[in-house]
Structure 1
Amino acid sequence: MTRRSATLAVAGALIVALVAVASMLHLPYVVYSPGPVEDTLGEWNGQQVIQIDGAETFPTDGVLDLTTVGVTSADADLDLLTALRAWIDPDRAVIPRELVYPEGTTAEQSRQQNAAMLANSQQNAEVAALRKLGYDVPEKVVVDAVVADAPADGVLEPGDIVVSVDGAPVATPEDVVDAVTAHQPGEAVSFVVDRDGRQLTESITTIAAEDDGRALVGFSPTLGFDLPVDITIGIDERIGGPSAGMIFAVAIYDTLTPGELLDGVHVAGTGEISPDGEVGPIGGIQQKIAAANHDGAALFLAPASNCDEAVGGNNGDMQVVPIETLDDAVSTIESFVAGDTDDLPACPA
């Protein structure tokens, strides 16, 4: 073997060794990638994504995509080579793991949390769309979950409507928390709840919270709504999180209004939504913009509070417009479809 051949052989062996070491070195990061998109005006598993009973619906025309982010699973490790490939890919991002998965979070826990956030986003979207259409949507405080072996376990049930605490009517989840924590641990709290149309009065003795010693009974209240229209949103069960709320709301609004809001245009977007129609920030905005661009969308609706990140997204010829409310989303689509795009806002570079 010549000296040159020996040098090449040694160098090759070192490279192979370095690659092997890099592939085994696990990093405390995850990768964000453009995820699949889903047309909320289309079908999923042979059924319309938006199904409405109790109100007249109207034909729609166009594509209204919710966008998603692919992320390294909670039970998967990220190796150095994968991280480097993601780092040089403009459509992907390397994110500290603890920002996505708090320490100790399992893949199943993450799935459950994302499913719960998706369900909440769907409820908020339904309320926001109906309120924009002029419907009265009363609010109520509902038992969301009961802690196992806590004083409330076996007494209250998820879905119970909390009517009053210690004789005082409650309007928000915070009202319930304030009423319970006004007690000392060991004192009893009186609840009136509505369960399937029957009013029940229950007395529950408080215990001390482990972290701060405040009185608690062991259930989480949440805000619920009495919807005057029955709305079902069917979507791929692998999709989770709160960021599709705004797009769901637009899809519901379009389905319940005469005329075709999109008029054949391909629109995509993202954003949390509140019951009052406020659009909030989300994660992975650049990856969602890239996903929509790759899928051929002409317009992307982005939360205004994500503007700083959105300007770095790979949007190609797709117009990215920041919005703050459901009203903004609808009016932006109307202007875009009409060709009045010059005055649409843009995120500052």
Structure 2
Amino acid sequence: MTRQTWTATLSAILFVLLAAVIALVPVPYVTWAPGATHDLLGQVDGKDAISITGIPTRHPSGKLRLTTVAVTSPGGVLSLPEALISYWLPSREVLPRDVVYRPGVSDADLTSQEAELMTDSQTTAVVAALRAARVPVTEMPMIAAVLNSGPANGILKPGDLIESVDNRHVESKENVTEAVRDRNVGEPVTITYFRDGQRKHSTIVTRATEAAPKEPIIGVKLATGYSYAPKVTFAVDQNIGGSSAGLMFSIAIYSMLSDQDLIAGRDIAGTGTVDAEGRVGAIGGIQEKLAAAARDQSKIFLAPRANCVDLGAIPDTISVVAVDNLGDAVSALQGGGVGPTGTVTGCE
């Protein structure tokens, strides 16, 4: 074999090895792509995705789709060829890993955070929908967390709704704090609260902290909770996390309580956070979610108006309606505020 042949052979082997290294070595990026859509008016494992008891409901005709983004998992890796392909494919994004996943956060912690955001979004979505449907909702102080070293540990639980402190009616978390501070350190306080619809009474002996030795506490974190008669349960895929499904949850619940068939046989998709007042907030991955809705043949896509600048090209098979709040979405679906396919209404 000649020197030239040896050189060419060695060069080819080195090229193949380098190409393999480039193909296999992970890069610090993740991809976003159109994910699955989930019909909130359908069933999941034989159960209604959303069910409501304690109040008359209807079953709207049509489909109401929660949209998702398929993202590289926290423990997953992305090779350079995969990143390049994703960069050039439509309706996909390649983002630095540190932008999507905060460094130092474990997979378990991230999953827990996403699940908590989902739970919070369901709570606010229910309240917004009930209020829109004129179902009475009462705000109450709520236990958000119980400190492990606090005197309330083992007595109170997150989600407990506080009615009174020492028979003193409380309407806000500030009222609870003030009522506890009216006691002396080491004195007992009686908390009256609701758990799973049952009124309970518990006595807790206050303590002090090193930072404030004269200030009595019971060792809880407080938030605003809500009391209402209907019971709303969710059976959506547990792998879905985050808060961006709030708007679609609210519309689904409202449509089940409305006298009018809000969906009217249509295939509607959308995304957006929603707070207890019905205000809709921006989300990430709007282009991927819109592409997923178009792929699954939805004809209407509801989007936060704050995401108007992120929409990009609109598929010619779907109409986009941008909204600021739940009322905007309901009005658009009721009154025909939906433009022809391939267009956007609600953006300025």
Structure 1 residue 265 corresponds to structure 2 residue 269: no
CA distance in 1, matches of 2:179, 2:104: 32
- Among 187, 197, 200, the alignment partner of 1:198 is 200
Contact 1:53 1:231 (8 Å CA) reproduced: yes
Q: 1:96-107, aligned counterparts within 5 Å?
A: 96-107=96-107
Q: Which amino acid in the other structure matches residue 250 of structure 1? A: I
Residue in structure 2 matched with residue 284 of structure 1 by the alignment: 285
Following superposition of structure 1 onto structure 2, how do residues 90-169 of structure 1 map, counting pairs within 5 Å?
90-163=90-163
For 1:139 and 1:17, the matched residues in 2 are separated by: 65
**In 2, Cα distance between the equivalents of 1:145 and 1:265?**
42
- Percent identity reads 37
- CA apart distance, 1:272: 0.7
Contact 1:63 / 1:266 at 8 angstroms: preserved in 2?
yes
Aligned to 2:297: 296
Contact 1:34–1:288 (CA under 8 A) maintained in structure 2: yes
In the TM superposition, residue 345 of structure 1 has moved relative to its aligned partner by 2.4
Task: Please name the residue that 1:248 is paired with.
Answer: 249
Q: Is the 8 A contact 1:117 1:240 kept in 2?
A: yes
| 1:297-327 deviation line (CA, Å, top 9, x unaligned) | 11111111111112x2563431222101111
Asked if 1 retains the 8 angstrom alpha-carbon contact of 2:314 and 2:343, the reply is no
Superposed, 1:6-17 pairs within 5 Å as 9=9, 12-17=12-17
Deviation at 1:11, TM superposition (A): 5.4
2:305–2:346 contact (8 Å) kept in structure 1? no
Contact 1:268 1:299 survives alignment (8 Å): yes
Give distance in 1, aligned partners of 2:36 and 2:200.
44
| Cα distance, 1:191–1:262 mapped onto 2, change above 3 Å | same
Q: How many residues align?
A: 340
Kindly indicate whether the alpha-carbon contact (under 8 Å) linking 2:319 and 2:343 is maintained by their aligned counterparts in 1. no
| TM-score relative to the length of structure 2 | 0.84
> Could you give the per-residue CA deviations for residues 146-165 of structure 1, whole angstroms, max 9, x where no partner exists?
23334542343223333467
Distance in 2 of aligned mates of 1:326 and 1:271:
10
CA RMSD after TM alignment? 3.3
1:328 counterpart = 2:323: no
Offset, 1:16: 2.5
- Which digits, 9 at most, give the CA deviation of each residue in 1:132-171, with x for residues without a partner? 1111100112212223334542343223333467997654
Give the unaligned 5+ runs of structure 2.
none
One-letter amino acid of the counterpart of residue 120, structure 2: N
How far the C-alpha of 1:112 sits from its partner, in A, is: 1.6
Cα gap change, 1:202 to 1:341, in 2 (>3 Å): same
Equivalent AA in structure 1 for residue 204 of structure 2: E
- Specify the alignment match of 1:53 in structure 2: 53
User: Is the CA contact 2:332–2:338 (under 8 Å) kept in the aligned structure 1?
Assistant: no
Q: Which position in structure 2 is the counterpart of 1:207?
A: 209
